[in-house]
Amino acid sequence: MPSWSSSSSALTAPNLRLRTLRIWSSKDYAIAAFIFLILFSLLLFSHLDSRYDSQPHHSKLVPLTLLRNANQTRALCLDGSAPGYHFQSGFGSGSRNWLIHIEGGGWCNSIPSCYQRKFTHLGSSDHMEKLIPFSGILSSDPAQNPDFFNWNKVKIRYCDGASFAGHPESERGSGLFFRGQVIWEAIMDELLSTGLSNAKQALLSGCSAGGLATLIHCDSFRQVLPKEATVKCLADAGFFLDEKDISGNSTMRSFYHDVAQLQGLAKSLHKDCIAKMEPSKCLFPSEIAKNIKTPLFLVHPAYDFWQIRNILVPQGSDPDGHWQRCRLDIRSCNANMIDKLDSYRGSLLKAVNEFQQRKEIGMFIDSCFVHCQTEMEVTWHSPNSPKINDKTIAESVGDWYFDREAVKRIDCSSFSCNPTCHNMDFT
């Protein structure tokens, strides 16, 4: 028994060591294989990531670039900070084409309102988002932006409060910087030095107050680019009307008068217009467009909610609040209100009718309750986008820009007539 025991022990020890060796060996192999798999995956993903980085990022956030020579040029936001823009390089066939888009955001018409504004992103680059997505007309996704997806794209941030048309002589110790025109020229100079001067095709666009800025600067934009380049302009929701509000007051005319006086806009407006009428009237697009020589496209909703809420029914014009729900949701308007909205639509169509005979002017005027449609995928070009004659805004702008056809698309005649409309609801 003892000998068996010892003999058994002698035989078991090496067997045990061998079994232990085999167990650890298989673990090691498993660990080694696992580590190898991780390293291989990292290598593969880094390779794929580098390939992806060489292609446009459809969802990449675009960083803010502050104007390099702001202090030398004295091109400053309302608060004295450097103005900025977001830039995304073009690629492939679009590497020498440029799309410049001007941000909107209303205006300030007094020292107090401009002073308040300088503590926001509309008056200071200190308050601007450092990274923003590019969508709609700025998208790099061909499915979302079929004609301009691979162009160089710039979004100019708005921080002067006067559609890039103010002049420093108007500051008069206000503690504010009225440098809109200077900002415009300085940003153009910087972009020209980074490739815009070699543009083959270019489109200047803007939304709302940025749409007005587009109209103001359209011809000067054409002038700084090569003569052989194709250069056109697009104003989105920038065709503001000189109409009386529901109380019979010319609220918008009065407001524009204050903006023009405060920041000295006359020097940025067309001299032929200024010679005939006061500067504030020359700030209305119906007057500006008469003198624009560069091909122009108007994207505009017939029921522009900003104009309804600020020109037709501004604060103070409806003391009893009858229009409160209608201002928030057009589907809440009663028959009398709809009549007034339709009359406003009629004024818009009358104003743009003057340009119907000019073949270089295109338009897409839908019957939607919305404001600024080129920046959003859902309204610019998507399966759910507003359509006129089965064409989206993006398709219409592309047809016009590339001379595929003349585009004068005006929608049916009531707010509920177009089922493709993306009507806003603020309730």
d(CA 328, CA 337): 13
Q: Give pTM, 2 decimals.
A: 0.86
d(CA 397, CA 297): 7
Among 129, 134, 140, 139, which Cα is nearest to 65's? 129
d(CA 300, CA 426): 19
User: pLDDT at residue 103 above 70?
Assistant: yes
262 by DSSP, 3-state: which?
A: helix
170 by DSSP, 3-state: which?
A: helix
Give the sign of the dihedral formed by CA 68, CA 71, CA 75, CA 78.
positive
Q: Could you tell me if 366 and 374 are in contact, meaning their C-beta atoms sit under 8 angstroms apart?
A: no
Q: pLDDT tens digits for 351-379?
A: 999 898 999 999 999 999 999 999 999 99
The one-letter amino acid at 427:
T
Q: pLDDT tens digits for 148-188?
A: 999 999 999 999 999 999 999 999 989 999 999 999 999 99
Encode 65-79: b = buried (16+ Cβ within 10 Å), e = exposed.
Answer: bebeebeebebbbbb
- In this predicted structure, which of 9-23, 132-146, 403-417 has the lowest mean pLDDT? 9-23
Q: pLDDT tens digits for 27-68?
A: 454 445 545 444 444 443 343 333 333 344 455 899 999 999
User: pLDDT at residue 263 above 70?
Assistant: yes
Tell me what pLDDT residue 56 has: 44
Question: Domain limits of the chain?
Answer: 1-54, 63-410
Percent of the chain beyond pLDDT 70? 86
Percent of the chain beyond pLDDT 90? 84
Instruction: Please identify every residue annotated as catalytic.
Output: 208, 304, 371
Q: Which architecture characterizes domain 63-410 according to CATH? A: 3-Layer(aba) Sandwich (3.40)
